[in-house]
Structure 1
C-alpha cells in the first residue's frame, strides 16, 4: 500500500465494478459478466514507460499522484485522444517508431541515458501482481466460480496476472480464453511453435496494443493452465467493440 501525497495512505486504484451483460448473456446462453476496468483510476526520480496507451495512462496517473515527472514513449499508431490524455495527466509524450516494440527500444535508451526508473508495460512481476487483483475482486463479487475468463492479449501482462490470480484463489481449473487479432497474434504463434517467436510486423488494426513477441511468462502460463487461444479477424474485433459500446 503506497503513501499518497499529503500523508494519506491507501492504494491508487479502486475495485472496478462487475456487471452482467444482458446482451452477451443472451447470446452465449449463460451469464456473462464484464469487469469494467475502464472505470478504474489508472493506477524516485523520473519514470519512463513505453506504451500503446493503457500502461502509459496508468503510469502517468501514478506519477502524477506521487508528484514525479514521467515520460511515455508511444508508437505513431497511438491515437491522438490517448496522447492528449497522457499530456493532460502531466506526462511528457514522445512518439517513436511505428509499433510498440520500436517505441520500447527508445524508452530503454532514455532510461539508460537519463537514469530514469523504467516501467515495463507488461513484462514485470509487479505488473502481474496488479492484474492478479482482478481475480480477487471477482472472487469477492461473484456468487460462484466463473465458467471461464475471457481476456485480450497484447504483450501478455494481463494474461500472466490473471493466471496468477486464478492460482491464488484456487480457481486454476477455470479456463482462460485468450483473444487476439490476426496480425497481432504473438501468443498464438508462440503456442503453435512451442516457443517464443517474433511476428515480422504488427499488421492488425490493433497496432498500438500489439507486441511482436509475447512475454515468456505469458507463454508459460498458457502452456501450464487451461488457456484457449482464440484469434479473430479485425472486423470481428471491431464489431465486438461496437457491441460493448451498445451495452
Structure 2
C-alpha cells in the first residue's frame, strides 16, 4: 500500500539549460501532503502499522510532521506531533487540519525530538523526519518512477536538510543501475550543516539556523548522509537565501507551483545552468515542495533579501 502518489516528470523549457541538455523536474511538491516527505514517511507508517503500532509520534514542526499526520489520518492511527516553539502557526494549522495532536516543546528541533522520544510507549512508533532506513527506501521511489518514465538522469539536484532525501535518492539511483550518477546536494547559507560537515570530515552541529529556509533546518545531518560521500559522487553546493527565494518566486511564475525556499535553493542551481552542470544531458531536479510558505511570505522574503 502506498500513501504517496506517482508525481509528474516534466521537461522544463523555462529553466535555463545548455544546448543539448534537458532539465527534468520531479514534481513532488504535488504530493497530497505537499512535499516529498510523504514517500518515506508513508512507507514507514504503513510498515509500522503492519507491525502493530497503535500510535505514531513525530518530532517535526514542518513537512515531516504534516506528512505523518496525513498518514495517520489515512491509516486510522492516532498521531502526536511534537513541535518546537519556533514552528510557524501555518505549520501547526496544517498538522491540526489532518487531525493530529500537537504538543509544543523546546526552543529547537533537538529539544522537541528528545521530548518526542521520551513519550514513546510500548505500542507507539517513532516517525523521524529524516534518519530512518524506511524513509530512505520510500524516498527512493521517486527515482524508480523517473526511470519507468524513460528518463535515466546523468545528474541529480536536490536539497539537503537532515539528509533523508539524499539517502533516498542515492538508494534509488543504485537500485536502478545509476550508481555513478553524481548528486548535487544544495543548501542555503545558515543551514549548511552538510557542506560544513563534508569540509570538516566529520559531522558538525550548527549553533543555530540563520537561513529563511527553515525546512533545511537540521543543525546536524544524519551519519548515513555524511557517509555517502565515501561511496557516491555527492557534491555539496551552498547558495544564499536571496537565490533560494528568487528561484521560488520565478518558479511560481514559470510553473505555477508554490514551493518553499528550501526547495527553491535547488531550483536556483538549475536556473543558473553554470559550469557545475556542464557536460550533463539529462539533469533531474527534485522539486521537493513544502507547504509552510505562502505567496505573501515568499514575496516578503524576496523584498527583504533583496535589500541585504
Same fold (TM over 0.5): yes
**Structure 1 regions of 5+ residues with no counterpart?**
1-9
Q: Does the residue aligned with 1:23 lie in a helix, a strand or coil? A: coil
Q: Runs of 4 or more off by more than 4 Å in structure 1? A: none
1:45 aligns with 2:54: yes
Does the aligned pair in 1 maintain the 2:61–2:92 contact within 8 Å? no
1:197 aligns with 2:204: yes
Aligned to 1:87: 96
Worse-matched range after superposition: 164-173 or 10-19:
10-19
Distance of 1:80 and 1:167 partners within structure 2: 39
How big is the shift at 1:75? 2.4
**Structure 2 regions of 5+ residues with no counterpart?**
34-41, 43-52, 256-308
Does the aligned pair in 1 maintain the 2:82–2:113 contact within 8 Å? yes
Superposition RMSD on alpha carbons, in Å? 1.7
Aligned to 2:186: 179
How big is the shift at 1:67? 1.0
Q: Paired residues, what number? A: 235
Q: Does the residue aligned with 2:214 lie in a helix, a strand or coil? A: coil
Distance of 1:64 and 1:28 partners within structure 2: 45
Distance of 1:84 and 1:28 partners within structure 2: 42
Q: How does 1:99-178 map to 2 (within 5 A)?
A: 99-111=108-120, 116-143=124-151, 145-178=152-185
How big is the shift at 1:110? 2.0
Aligned to 2:7: 16
Distance of 1:139 and 1:161 partners within structure 2: 15
How big is the shift at 1:52? 3.5
How big is the shift at 1:220? 1.2
Worse-matched range after superposition: 204-213 or 194-203:
204-213
Using the size of structure 1 for normalisation, the TM-score is 0.89
Aligned to 1:74: 83
The structure, 1 or 2, with the larger RCO (C-alpha pairs under 8 Å, 6+ apart) is 2
Does the aligned pair in 1 maintain the 2:187–2:216 contact within 8 Å? no
Change (3 A) 1:102 1:21: farther
Using the size of structure 2 for normalisation, the TM-score is 0.72
Aligned to 1:63: 72
